[in-house]
């Protein structure tokens, strides 16, 4: 029976309009009548690949190539399937054959780009790109050519290619070239202002602007934190393109960024109704579900995404982040490692895994070493910049810059506040550069009023920020954000001052080669920990932080509880199997006691995580009725008042208590600290040392039980007073911010002097 051409045209029409289910049905009916039709088999295979049905897709591609072995699109799709199976040699064979017949086939060039990036052979792609551009000018291939040159030769060479094309091209092509130049700035140089200019040019000079340009302009506004303007722009575009999946997804992302996760989830679901297999939207939805505390549904969504695209690096990164937050570090590490393997130059992915490494101990020494080498290889593709040479500060104040995303109601900010409020402008001038807008939070204005200069850079790209900060001629720059959200590690990589150091933020190396020092103390960063850091360890002469109590202290209730109640108000991702083992030992050793838990993070209020904790303690022999959960507290005072409901704070491990240790001691509740041999395992140890109570530090479970037993005996005999513990805390160096300032500044001056001496000698 001859094939029904109407069926084929209907299938093609549905395919091009995005109605993939209807298209698949028509293709199948068409192929039933004539199973040797190359185009139909290839198009159906492409739809099946999109759905994750790779085996069936391969069968249809075999049929397509049996009928026409030189059909480029079939060869390209077969190459892509081999790429998804990590069969790179076979993939390259199919892809290069497709380019022999059709040199400018974009899909094949992009798949080769992926393979050669992973195998570090990008140079091999250049001949194919040059041949494609010589046979037919295509702005998308121009962009890919620039991406390759950016990696191999640097940004100047890549921009030269764009400039040459702009000079040679006819007027009608300029908008499309500016569009690709905008994408290059958006994704590679991260110069969002230049990207915005390019997209504006393309949109205003095009009779019918590309939808991608409309979306990318909105993305620039989002990244520049111009959220009201971004929403206004998206709504304007949606009026013209009401069914644009990309615009709806972007609007959802803006809502999520603004903290409106419920509205964001509604929009993500709407977008998925229009395109149910869009992996980007599925990933965004999963992260939104995680923010809302629905971990099981978030994981389910990402598992579906992996079925569609097993090598999607962004999906694997999101999986790692969710496993990490759900206290499943082994699964998190596996996901992060795969994410980096499939996208080794994604600095967002590097931020995720390096932040994860600072919180956990699951990666082996060899794995860490390989990761650091790979990170440095990725950094080597970025431009390096000159910085101001050191100058003597013998007769002037030391000029210290602080880059921080935590200026606001964040633990880092509270500790910084103690340091800055005690500063002496005759000795030091502090310049604070917030990298995140938290201006609505109280601590923002407190710190702003306490420093010499306060210059937000959250809406400035790296190029502009680098020029701006260099003009201040800083002697030292302090980073507090590590690889946390809204960090500016890539800006620090360019160097902003002769001396750069990390302080307070995170308990682990940044692994950034231009961060010279990591500032700690003799307990959290002793000399024997140097092998775990790329920075040189520098220790203050006292505890590494201090706390400034508020003028109005929370009230203490010295009345004794009827039964001893333990408590821990750390965030739930610190509650690891090691923590469960320690706590269950305590609860088994002291019958009649109970445990009160409360997370410090609002997103960790979901019942599934609580159920996991209860189940783990139950398996360890603890009656679930002895474990209670307090709701998340919106205010600091209500959070602090909860300490009146417990007698003894228990530590977590391997990552021990930090901010919550200070909270507990301020409320007169003793913390029993557990010390282990890494920086994250020494935080509470250092705090108790600063308190002068090393008798509350244990190095083994038996020691821990002995200390808890001694405390419970004192409490039962009424030989213990919360008020007395608070007084000891307030009188200790933990609350002596002037001592911290003197130690901190003398350390920075010594480091600057060493840099000056080293520079003079060279």
Q: 423 and 520: one domain? A: yes
Kindly state whether residues 342 and 416 are assigned to the same domain.
Answer: no
The pLDDT assigned to 173 comes to: 87
Higher-confidence residue: 760 or 219? 219
**Beta strand 476-479 with 453-454: parallel, antiparallel or unpaired?**
unpaired
573 and 718 both lie in a single domain: yes
Q: What's the pLDDT score for residue 152?
A: 86
Residue 370 within a domain:
yes
What pLDDT is attached to residue 611?
A: 86
Mean pLDDT confidence for 745-751: 96
Dmax (CA) for the chain in angstroms is 97
- pLDDT at 295 exceeding the cut of 90: no
Alpha-carbon distance of 411 to 458, in angstroms, equals 20
Return the H-helix or E-strand segment holding 125.
Answer: none
Q: Quick check: 240 and 211 in contact, CB under 8 A?
A: no
| Rounded CA separation 697/703 (Å) | 8
End residue of a domain, out of 322, 345, 379: 379
Buried b or exposed e, range 109-141, using 16+ CB within 10 angstroms: bbbbbbbbbbeeebeebeebbeebbeeebbbbb
How many CB atoms within 10 Å of residue 608?
Answer: 12
**Spatial contact of 501 and 476, defined as CB atoms under 8 Å apart:** yes
In a domain, 667, yes or no: yes
Rounded to the nearest 10 degrees, the angle between the axes of helix 155-168 and helix 174-184 is 170
Task: Annotate 256-276 with three-state secondary structure.
Answer: HHCCCHHHHHHHHHHHHHHCC
Same domain, yes or no: 711 and 590: yes
Name every residue whose Cβ is closer than 8 Å to that of residue 453 and which is 6 or more positions away in sequence.
429, 430, 431, 432, 472
> Looking at residue 673, which CATH number applies to its domain?
3.40.50.2000
Say whether pLDDT at 3 is over 60.
no
Q: Measure the CA–CA gap between 555 and 641, rounded to whole angstroms.
A: 7
For residue 604, pLDDT over 50 is answered with no
Residue 18 lies in a domain: no
* Number of structural domains the chain divides into: 3
Residue 238 covered by a domain:
no
Name the nearest CA neighbour of 571 among 618, 606, 547.
606
Query: pLDDT tens for residues 718-743?
Result: 768 899 999 999 999 999 999 999 99
Compute CA distances 286 → 74, 118, 300, 305, 511, whole Å.
33, 26, 8, 10, 29
Q: How confident is the model at residue 1, as a pLDDT?
A: 40
Give tens-digit pLDDT for 492-524. 999 999 999 999 988 899 999 999 999 999 999
More confident residue, 267 or 762: 267
What CA–CA distances, in Å, run from 358 to 25, 145, 324, 689? 50, 37, 12, 22
415 in the same domain as 525: yes
Q: What is the pLDDT of residue 430?
A: 97
The answer to whether the beta carbons of residues 556 and 729 sit under 8 Å apart is no
When the pLDDT of each residue in the chain is averaged and rounded to a whole number, the result is 91
Express each pLDDT in 608-617 by its tens digit: 778 889 999 9
For residue 713, how many C-alpha atoms fall within 13 Å in the half-sphere facing its CB? 6
Please tell me whether residues 721 and 574 are part of one structural domain. yes
What percentage of the chain carries pLDDT values higher than 70? 97
Where in the sequence is the domain holding 341, given as residue range(s)?
A: 311-379
Q: Is residue 646 included in any domain, yes or no? A: yes
- Is the predicted pLDDT of residue 28 greater than 60, yes or no? yes
Q: Would you place residue 146 in the very low, low, confident or very high pLDDT band (cuts 50, 70, 90)?
A: very high
pLDDT over 70 (residue 319): yes
Helix 139-153 and helix 126-135, axial crossing angle in degrees, nearest 10: 150
pLDDT in tens, 681-717: 999 999 999 999 999 999 999 999 999 999 999 888 7
Q: Say yes or no to pLDDT of 651 above 90.
A: yes
Q: Does 454 share its domain with 493?
A: yes
- Residue 418 and residue 441: Cα distance in Å, rounded? 17
Of 532 and 28, the structure prediction assigns the larger pLDDT to 532
Round to whole Å and give the CA distance between 151 and 231. Answer: 34
401-406 average pLDDT score: 96
Spatial distance between the Cα atoms of 615 and 633, rounded to a whole number of angstroms? 24
Burial class (CB in 10 A: 0-12, 13-18, 19+), 555: exposed
Same domain, 592 and 727: yes
Provide the terminal-to-terminal Cα distance of the chain, rounded to the nearest Å.
Answer: 85
- Write the DSSP string, 7-54: HHHHHHHHHHTT-HHHHHHHHHHHHHH-TT-HHHHHHHHHHHHHHT-H
DSSP string, 676-689: -SSGGGSHHHHHHH
Rounded CA-CA distance 431/417 in Å is 13
Question: Among candidates 564, 568, 517, which has minimal Cα distance to 538?
Answer: 517
From the list 568, 638, 560, 634, the residue with the least C-alpha distance to 601 is 634
Residues 604 and 722 in one domain: yes
Confidence of residue 33 (pLDDT cuts 50, 70, 90): low
Are 359 and 460 within one domain?
no
Closest CA to 214 of 232, 237, 188: 237
Q: HEC profile for 707-742?
A: HHHHHHHHHHCCCCCHHHHHHHHHHCHHHCHHHHHH
Tell me the average pLDDT across 172-201.
Answer: 92
Once rounded to an integer, what is the mean pLDDT over residues 285-312? 91
Q: Give the separation between CA 29 and CA 26, rounded to whole angstroms.
A: 5
- Check the CA dihedral 90-93-94-96 and report its sign: positive
β-partners of residue 477 are 401, 500
- Are the beta carbons of 587 and 593 closer than 8 angstroms? yes
The structure tokens listed for 704 are 């821990």
Give me the mean pLDDT over the 303-330 stretch.
91
**pLDDT at residue 49 tops 50:** yes
Which whole number is the average pLDDT over 5-25?
A: 80
Report the pLDDT value the prediction gives residue 382, as an integer from 0 to 100: 80
CATH number at residue 432: 3.40.50.11380
Is residue 605 scored above 60 in pLDDT? no
- The answer to whether 297 and 268 are in contact (CB under 8 A) is no
Q: What are phi and psi of 687, to 5 degrees?
A: -65, -45
Structure tokens at 601: 């993070």
Interatomic CA distance for residues 427 and 685, integer angstroms: 31
Let me know whether 344 and 448 are in one domain: no
Contact 544, 739 (CB under 8 A): no
> Has residue 175 been placed in a domain?
no
Are 346 and 482 in the same domain?
A: no
In the chain, what percentage of residues exceed pLDDT 90? 70
């Amino acid at each position: 029976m001859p094939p029904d051409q109407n069926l084929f045209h209907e299938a093609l029409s549905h395919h091009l309009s995005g109605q993939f289910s209807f298209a698949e049905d028509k293709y199948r009916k068409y192929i039933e009548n004539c199973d040797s039709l190359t185009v139909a088999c290839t198009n159906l295979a492409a739809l099946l690949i999109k759905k994750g049905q790779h085996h069936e897709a391969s069968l249809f591609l075999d049929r397509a190539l049996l009928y026409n072995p030189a059909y480029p699109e079939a060869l390209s799709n077969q190459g892509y399937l081999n790429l998804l199976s990590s069969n790179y040699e076979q993939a390259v064979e199919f892809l290069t054959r497709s380019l022999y017949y059709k040199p400018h086939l974009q899909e094949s060039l992009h798949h080769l780009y992926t393979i050669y990036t992973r195998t570090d052979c990008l140079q091999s792609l250049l001949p194919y790109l040059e041949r494609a551009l010589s046979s037919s000018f295509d702005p998308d291939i121009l962009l890919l050519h620039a991406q390759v040159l950016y990696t191999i030769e640097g940004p100047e060479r890549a921009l030269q290619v764009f400039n040459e094309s702009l000079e040679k091209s006819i007027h009608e092509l300029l908008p499309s070239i500016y569009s690709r130049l905008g994408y290059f700035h958006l994704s590679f140089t991260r110069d969002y202002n230049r990207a915005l200019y390019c997209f504006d040019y393309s949109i205003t000079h095009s009779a019918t602007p590309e939808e991608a340009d409309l979306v990318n302009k909105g993305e620039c506004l989002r990244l520049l934190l111009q959220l009201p303007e971004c929403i206004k722009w998206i709504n304007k575009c949606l009026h013209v393109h009401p069914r644009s999946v990309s615009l709806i997804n972007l609007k959802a992302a803006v809502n999520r960024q603004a903290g409106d996760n419920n509205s964001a989830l509604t929009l993500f679901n709407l977008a998925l109704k229009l395109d149910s297999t869009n992996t980007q939207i599925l990933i965004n939805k999963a992260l939104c579900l995680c923010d809302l505390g629905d971990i099981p549904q978030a994981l389910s969504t990402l598992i579906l995404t992996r079925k569609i695209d097993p090598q999607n690096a962004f999906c694997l990164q999101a999986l790692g982040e969710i496993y990490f937050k759900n206290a499943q570090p082994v699964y998190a590490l596996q996901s992060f490692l795969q994410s980096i393997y499939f996208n080794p130059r994604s600095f967002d992915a590097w931020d995720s895994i390096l932040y994860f490494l600072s919180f956990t101990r699951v990666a082996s020494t060899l794995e860490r070493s390989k990761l650091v080498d790979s990170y440095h290889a990725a950094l080597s593709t970025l431009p390096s910049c000159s910085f101001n040479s050191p100058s003597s500060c013998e007769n002037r104040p030391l000029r210290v810059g602080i880059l921080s995303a935590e200026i606001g109601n964040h633990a880092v900010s509270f500790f910084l506040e103690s340091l800055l409020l005690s500063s002496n402008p005759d000795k030091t001038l502090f310049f604070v550069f917030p990298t995140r807008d938290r201006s609505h939070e109280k601590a923002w204005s407190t710190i702003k009023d306490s420093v010499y200069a306060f210059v937000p850079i959250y809406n400035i790209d790296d190029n502009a920020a680098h020029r701006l900060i260099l003009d201040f001629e800083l002697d030292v720059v302090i980073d507090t954000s590590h690889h946390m959200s809204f960090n500016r590690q890539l800006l620090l990589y360019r160097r902003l001052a002769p001396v750069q150091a990390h302080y307070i933020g995170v308990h682990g190396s940044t692994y950034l080669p231009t961060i010279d020092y990591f500032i700690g103390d003799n307990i959290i960063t002793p000399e024997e920990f140097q092998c775990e850091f790329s920075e040189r360890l520098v220790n203050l002469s006292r505890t590494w932080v201090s706390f400034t109590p508020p003028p109005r202290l929370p009230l203490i209730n010295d009345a004794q509880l009827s039964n001893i109640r333990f408590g821990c108000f750390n965030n739930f991702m610190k509650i690891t199997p090691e923590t469960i083992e320690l706590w269950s030992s305590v609860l088994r050793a002291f019958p009649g006691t109970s445990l009160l838990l409360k997370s410090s993070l609002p997103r960790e209020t979901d019942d599934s995580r609580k159920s996991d904790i209860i189940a783990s303690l139950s398996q360890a022999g603890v009656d679930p009725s002895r474990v209670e959960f307090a709701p998340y507290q919106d205010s600091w005072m209500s959070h602090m008042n909860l300490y009146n409901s417990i007698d003894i704070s228990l530590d977590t491990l391997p990552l021990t208590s930090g901010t919550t240790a200070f909270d507990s001691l301020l409320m007169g509740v003793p913390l029993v600290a557990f010390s282990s041999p890494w920086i994250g395992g020494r935080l509470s140890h250092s705090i108790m040392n600063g308190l002068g109570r090393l008798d509350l530090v244990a190095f083994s479970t038996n020691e821990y039980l002995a200390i808890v037993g001694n405390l419970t005996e004192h409490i039962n005999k009424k030989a213990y007073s919360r008020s007395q513990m608070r007084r000891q805390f307030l009188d200790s160096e933990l609350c002596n911010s002037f001592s911290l300032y003197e130690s901190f500044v003398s350390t920075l001056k010594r480091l600057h002097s060493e840099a000056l001496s080293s520079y003079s000698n060279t």
